[in-house]
Structure 1
């Protein structure tokens, strides 16, 4: 497989998406681009956390990885199973989060978790907002992914994680490095605020998460490796 140059953004294939399941967007495409530049050996064990429609899981399975896709949403689990079947790809799909996995180790972990700061401290358990709301600092799910990956990556294993700069790029890098991983930003792009951020801009500004003069956010893909 030809490796695309840095900065290339792959568009995920058209997938079935039930109502309430996160639609692949730019953050998904950034993560696909980063994953496409990793050397996935045949049979590599890959975990996709927060799989949604399964776009990342299916891409990895096409490259020969042994893929486990994980999501807390029943609809996302169903969507990924259907999309894998339609694509004639073998993907193990489980409902839960990283804490629900036991005795597992991975060559690669990829994740596009909920990361949008929310006025509510509670993480939604249903509805569309479940796919993006992540507590007041946006890290309610993100920190669990960092800790879970740090504890289960094999030697030489890699975590690829996408999130908004609004929830703290530096905080993610520090958390991963303190867990013994070498972490860096490997992709970044600035995009205009979407409807969700515009709807809570006043709250974001009042809490020091956004500037009143700003109208855009930075998305980052962080790559962390266990030596």
Structure 2
């Protein structure tokens, strides 16, 4: 399948089995960090299929840094990773050093970042979250990495509105999220912002602990067929108008607590 607008080719991915890890991360965690999962792997596959050699890449909601590290390993000219979690920033920096790649990791709010990039990637929080503080719905772990409000779009809506300001002409935005966070809403928002967007990949995976804990609630809301315990992940590609090019000019970016990892 081709990127929206007829640009670089992407491969459509459909799988019901776990993907093999492809990104190197540090062996031990720093605090509570979302480690690479199937959604991470789907996005890494899109990065590889698009091709980032010589490009300036921004990875938002970087978490472990796996996607940023994968981009650097594929020859990106410059990679910046951003996360609002201090634990994630520390882990991503450590992971980059362990992997032997050079990336810049920033601690800050994704909507405050500015600059012009050839490729922007994001695996944001997207799991619909019950409005009650009931431990049945909240298994242990870094909930900030998946909890995303009642409809799963607390971060996605902000992201889809802000990302177009980060792309150079012809630049590409690669996004992954669950079917339960309304992929059509993401496509509409990106189209409204002037990007050509479409679903370019999908992967079917069995429920993990978080989705299992919320399955009955999702069924009650009519978002999940009763008895179904499989989730469809989607990869979305959105392209800004204009010719894709890399001119080497430095980006200006909001930076709080920035470190260059090599």
Shared fold (TM-score, shorter chain, > 0.5): yes
What TM-score, normalized to structure 1?
A: 0.89
Which residue is 1:111 aligned to? 122
Report the Cα distance in structure 2 between the residues aligned to 1:121 and 1:49, rounded to whole angstroms.
Answer: 28
Report the Cα distance in structure 2 between the residues aligned to 1:21 and 1:189, rounded to whole angstroms.
Answer: 23
1:11 equivalenced with 2:21 (yes/no) = yes
1:203 equivalenced with 2:256 (yes/no) = no
Report the Cα distance in structure 1 between the residues aligned to 2:223 and 2:74, rounded to whole angstroms.
Answer: 39
- Structure 1 unaligned regions, length at least 5: none
Which residue is 1:67 aligned to? 79
Structure 1 residue 12: Cα displacement: 2.4
Report the Cα distance in structure 1 between the residues aligned to 2:213 and 2:42, rounded to whole angstroms.
Answer: 24
Which residue is 2:107 aligned to? 95
CA RMSD of aligned residues (A): 2.3
Question: Which residues of 2 match residues 118-197 of structure 1 at below 5 A?
Answer: 118-120=129-131, 128-197=142-211
- The structure whose RCO (Cα within 8 Å, separation 6+) is larger is 2
Larger radius of gyration: 2
Structure 1 SS opposite 2:129: coil
Structure 2 SS opposite 1:84: helix
Structure 1 residue 161: Cα displacement: 0.3
Q: Is the CA contact 2:51–2:74 (under 8 Å) kept in the aligned structure 1?
A: no
CA change 1:5–1:143 in 2 (3 A) is closer
Would you say how many aligned residue pairs link Structure 1 and Structure 2?
221
Report the Cα distance in structure 2 between the residues aligned to 1:222 and 1:34, rounded to whole angstroms.
Answer: 9
Structure 1 residue 199: Cα displacement: 1.1
What TM-score, normalized to structure 2?
A: 0.78
- Structure 2 unaligned regions, length at least 5: 1-8, 242-262
Q: Is the CA contact 2:25–2:98 (under 8 Å) kept in the aligned structure 1?
A: no
